[in-house]
């Protein structure tokens, strides 16, 4: 893994979410969970930057006046650390954190709550997700879904997604947004 971690759905963020879920299943591992959260906080506070492709999508959305939000099931402190270290809190990007008690994150109600807080209707929103569950729940509420599988989710079935990207590197953000949410004429 490189020294700088990408905020784009990727192995470290996915692994962190999976570890948090696994630790919460044990019930007696609060100390271990707290130690892991401290280590993740320390790591991300020093090593987080946006991937170039994700940066292009955020800029293209801002130019179009499309509100942008981050939806995460990571613990609040870690999510805030990543959000700040990536420079997202300085932009008009909202962060929605859903508790780790919610099973099978992200559920459809998480997407609906975020969409409502953005003041939009689901059909004019795009969800970028690295897992089948994220894309499926976004599609179930009427959102557009773009799958960006990572090393842990590349085997998932992303049928139904509006797009499946091989990665963020070659994203033509303007074209992608125009295809999924055509500009008003």
pLDDT (tens digit per residue) in 14-24: 455 555 555 55
| Distance in angstroms (rounded) separating the CA atoms of residues 173 and 55 | 9
Number of C-beta neighbours around residue 167 at 10 A: 13
DSSP state of 45: H
| Both tokens assigned to 98 | 């859903």
The residue with greater pLDDT, 100 or 75, is 75
Sign for the pseudo-dihedral over CA of 159, 160, 163, 165: negative
Sign for the pseudo-dihedral over CA of 113, 164, 124, 62: positive
| Distance in angstroms (rounded) separating the CA atoms of residues 18 and 3 | 21
Burial of residue 47 (CB within 10 Å: 0-12, 13-18, 19+) is middle
Domain architecture of the chain: domains with CATH: 5-180 (3.40.50.1000)
Number of C-beta neighbours around residue 45 at 10 A: 14
| Both tokens assigned to 55 | 């940066």
| Distance in angstroms (rounded) separating the CA atoms of residues 20 and 32 | 10
pLDDT in tens, 39-61: 777 777 776 778 888 889 999 99
| Both tokens assigned to 176 | 């992608």
| Distance in angstroms (rounded) separating the CA atoms of residues 124 and 52 | 24
pLDDT score, position 143: 94
Whole-model pTM: value is 0.74
Q: What is the mean pLDDT of the chain?
A: 80
């Amino acid at each position: 893994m490189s020294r700088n971690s990408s905020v784009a759905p990727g192995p470290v963020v996915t692994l962190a979410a999976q570890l948090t879920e696994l630790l919460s299943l044990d019930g007696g591992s609060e100390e271990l969970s707290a130690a892991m959260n401290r280590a993740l906080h320390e790591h991300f506070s020093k090593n987080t930057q946006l991937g170039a492709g994700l940066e292009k999508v955020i800029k293209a959305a801002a130019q179009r006046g499309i509100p942008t939000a981050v939806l995460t099931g990571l613990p609040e402190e870690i999510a805030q650390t990543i959000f700040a270290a990536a420079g997202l809190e300085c932009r008009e990007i909202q962060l929605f954190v859903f508790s780790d008690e919610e099973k099978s994150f992200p559920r459809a109600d998480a997407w609906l709550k975020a969409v409502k807080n953005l003041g939009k209707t689901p059909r004019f929103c795009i969800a970028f997700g690295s897992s089948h569950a994220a894309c499926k729940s976004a599609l179930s509420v009427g959102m557009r879904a773009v799958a960006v599988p990572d090393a842990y989710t590349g085997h998932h079935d992303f049928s139904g997604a509006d797009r499946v990207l091989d990665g963020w590197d070659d994203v033509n953000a303007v074209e992608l947004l125009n295809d999924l949410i055509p500009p008003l004429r």
